[in-house]
Amino acid sequence: MIPVLSLKEFDGTSKSAFVEELGTTYQQIGFVAIRDHGFPAELAAELHAAVAEFFTLPDEVKLRYHRADLFGQRGYTGYGKEHAKNSTAGDLKEFWQQGPELPGKERSDLGYPANLRVEEVPALFECSRRAHEELLRIGREMLSAIALFLGLEPSYFDPFILKGNSILRPIHYPPISGSVGGAVRSAEHEDINLITLLMGASSAGLQVKDRKGDWIEVAAAHDELVVNVGDMLQRLTSNKLRSTTHRVVNTAEAYEGVSRFSIPFFLHPVSAMPLNGLKECIEEGQKPAYPDITAGDYLDQRLVEIGLKPARS
């Protein structure tokens, strides 16, 4: 089991204890479950309903919302198109992606593509927009706690994330039938971004790998968010905080005709954010664990590795 923390403690008298437990957990395994976060239960229900409605549309309808030129960063990406960094087998999933909703000029100045709207399921856009705002609010609090643990100002991440290229990604893992050639719902991987906030999945399957190499089941309550460290934060902290390997396995339910839905929110900074190792995380006389790179260049590099973007010739 992963630790469960209350976000109320960060706003109350237990703030320092929350910061210490969160940071220590992120050093050890990189995953926590968060309760008392304030995400509206009604919005969660509306979003899940809209997501389920979208993924029940015929494939030919969903494919109208696939834009190859957006490399899976907005709109629909079909079944088996994405694979893990060190795998060639496509994951047994399809997904939708929606980014921040910003005024046109501001969005284009930041280099973000426009969001798509599904004519057949109009609620998907609005529910996703509201959920994006709520999860960014919660993510901002989590990053404020992380900043304090690292010895930074609590607002350190704000200039990078408030207009960052964060993504809400509803995922559908369809039931499995026949041979899948060793493919799984989501092969073992690490997330690309700073942190990920995962809304409760509809069924089991998520596992994280501990330091001994054992796989641990993650089963958060319906009103909890699972929040994990991504590769960008691991790079920034020169491995002080861990981006933990995780996967979604093929459960017995999957072969019995049961779909699985999950809705992760990948919290990304603006593309120009430097991921250069923080001096607060490097011992005297040591060097950063990774070479300097911007968040935008790192994202491009990883999109190539997972098969969503072609390599530059």
Interior angle at CA 205, CA 95 and CA 230, nearest 5: 65
Q: How many CB atoms lie within 10 A of CB 306?
A: 19
**Overall domain count for the chain:** 1
Alpha carbon of 139 to those of 11, 64, 192, 276, 277: distances in Å?
A: 14, 32, 15, 21, 21
Instruction: Say if 123 falls within a structural domain.
Output: yes
User: Cα–Cα distance between 199 and 128 in angstroms, integer?
Assistant: 12
Instruction: Say if 310 falls within a structural domain.
Output: no
Instruction: Say if 294 falls within a structural domain.
Output: yes
Instruction: Say if 73 falls within a structural domain.
Output: yes
pLDDT tens digits along 144-202:
999 999 999 999 999 999 999 999 999 999 998 877 877 889 989 999 999 999 997 66
Please check whether residue 50 is in contact with residue 127, taking contact to mean a CB–CB distance below 8 angstroms: yes
Pairing mode of beta strands 31-35, 171-173: unpaired
Q: Can you read off the two tokens belonging to residue 284?
A: 């005297």
User: Cα–Cα distance between 291 and 275 in angstroms, integer?
Assistant: 9
Q: Can you read off the two tokens belonging to residue 113?
A: 């593509």
pLDDT of residue 177: 82
Instruction: Say if 312 falls within a structural domain.
Output: no
* pLDDT band, residue 313 (cuts 50/70/90): low
Q: How many CB atoms lie within 10 A of CB 56?
A: 12
Give the residue from 212, 231, 210 showing the smallest Cα distance to 289.
231
CA atoms within 13 A on the CB side of 202: 21
pLDDT tens digits along 203-252:
688 999 988 999 999 988 889 999 999 999 999 999 999 999 999 998 88
Instruction: Say if 176 falls within a structural domain.
Output: yes
DSSP string, 64-112: GG--GGGTTSSEEE-TT----TT--SPPS-EEEEB-----HHHHHHHTP
- Report which DSSP code applies to 237: T
Please check whether residue 239 is in contact with residue 262, taking contact to mean a CB–CB distance below 8 angstroms: no
When mean pLDDT is compared over 72-86, 140-154, 247-261, 281-295, the highest value belongs to 140-154
CA–chain centroid gap for 308, Å, is 16
pTM of the model: 0.95
The amino acid that residue 126 corresponds to is E
pLDDT tens digits along 23-74:
999 999 999 999 999 999 999 999 999 999 999 999 999 999 999 999 889 9
Q: At what angle do helices 41-55 and 123-149 cross, to 10 degrees?
A: 120
pLDDT of residue 253: 85
Q: Which domain CATH number covers 286?
A: 2.60.120.330
* pLDDT band, residue 107 (cuts 50/70/90): very high
* CB neighbour burial string for 169-186, b if at least 16 within 10 angstroms, e if fewer: bbbbbbebeeebeebbbb
The amino acid that residue 166 corresponds to is S
Residue 263: pLDDT over 60: yes
Query: Could you tell me where the beta strands, DSSP code E, fall in 141-243?
Result: 167-168, 171-173, 186-189, 195-199, 206-209, 215-217, 225-229
Instruction: Say if 252 falls within a structural domain.
Output: yes
Instruction: Say if 48 falls within a structural domain.
Output: yes
Residue range 123-141: average pLDDT?
98
Q: Which residue range(s) make up the domain with 272? A: 4-305
Residue 84: pLDDT over 90: no
